[in-house]
Structure 1
């Protein structure tokens, strides 16, 4: 299974559309692109394997493996990238502004149900991140 994340970059943040088989699963918010700097930039475009992970802070969430120069890049709930993210990706149900969205926990549950079903079938799940538009 390969999920496609199509990003649009803005100086204040990054927005995306996450699709599977041509169908929108959710939208995403991230920090702006700042050269892959730890904790202040979104991650580079590319293809990453997704795994399920548990932490006391976020409960069950998704972990992107082998991100160059980064570690613990997660997909977890957040509705404001600049206030709640340190390089991770947040799924949202609706985009409400640059780097902002709503109903993140609801979007994560929808995404996790799709990903976890594939993982339960022992499928490799990947996320492929591409640029849709640069608005810098």
Structure 2
């Protein structure tokens, strides 16, 4: 199972369009590109394996594996990249600015549901990030 994220970079943040099976699912907000610096930059483009993860803070969410020079890069709900993200990715149903969006939780739950169904089928789940 593969998700495709098409990014657009801005000085204030990164906005992306998320697709599954060539169907648009929603948007993704991230921090701006700052040479992959920890906690202040979005991650490099590439293909990443997604794994399920649980924490008290985010409950059930997703983690990207093998991000160069980074760890604990997550996909979790957020509506403002600058104030709520430290290198992670947040799906949003509607963009309302650069690195800002609305309706993060409903889209996140839909993505999480797709992923958990694939995990139960023992499928590999990937996120391919391109510009």
Measured against the shorter chain, the TM-score band is over 0.9
Please say if residues 5 and 17 of structure 1, whose CA atoms lie closer than 8 Å, have aligned partners that are also in contact: yes
**How many equivalent residue pairs?**
131
Q: Report the TM-score, using the length of structure 1 for normalisation.
A: 0.95
1:23 paired to 2:20? no
1:13 paired to 2:13? yes
Which residue of structure 2 lines up, in the alignment, with residue 80 of structure 1? 80
Please say if residues 14 and 32 of structure 1, whose CA atoms lie closer than 8 Å, have aligned partners that are also in contact: yes
In the alignment, the residues of structure 2 paired with residue 17 and residue 122 of structure 1 have an alpha-carbon distance, to the nearest angstrom, of: 26
In the alignment, the residues of structure 1 paired with residue 113 and residue 96 of structure 2 have an alpha-carbon distance, to the nearest angstrom, of: 24
1:128 paired to 2:122? no
In the alignment, the residues of structure 2 paired with residue 117 and residue 26 of structure 1 have an alpha-carbon distance, to the nearest angstrom, of: 19
Unpaired runs of 5+ in structure 1? 132-136
- Runs of 4+ residues deviating >6 angstroms: none
Q: Report the TM-score, using the length of structure 2 for normalisation.
A: 0.99
In the alignment, the residues of structure 2 paired with residue 17 and residue 39 of structure 1 have an alpha-carbon distance, to the nearest angstrom, of: 22
In the alignment, the residues of structure 2 paired with residue 5 and residue 17 of structure 1 have an alpha-carbon distance, to the nearest angstrom, of: 6
Give the secondary-structure state (helix, strand or coil) at the position aligned to 1:36.
coil
Q: Over aligned residues, Cα RMSD in angstroms?
A: 0.5
Give the secondary-structure state (helix, strand or coil) at the position aligned to 1:63.
strand
Write the deviation string for residues 7-53 of structure 1: whole angstroms up to 9, x where unpaired.
00000000001101110122100000000000000000000000010
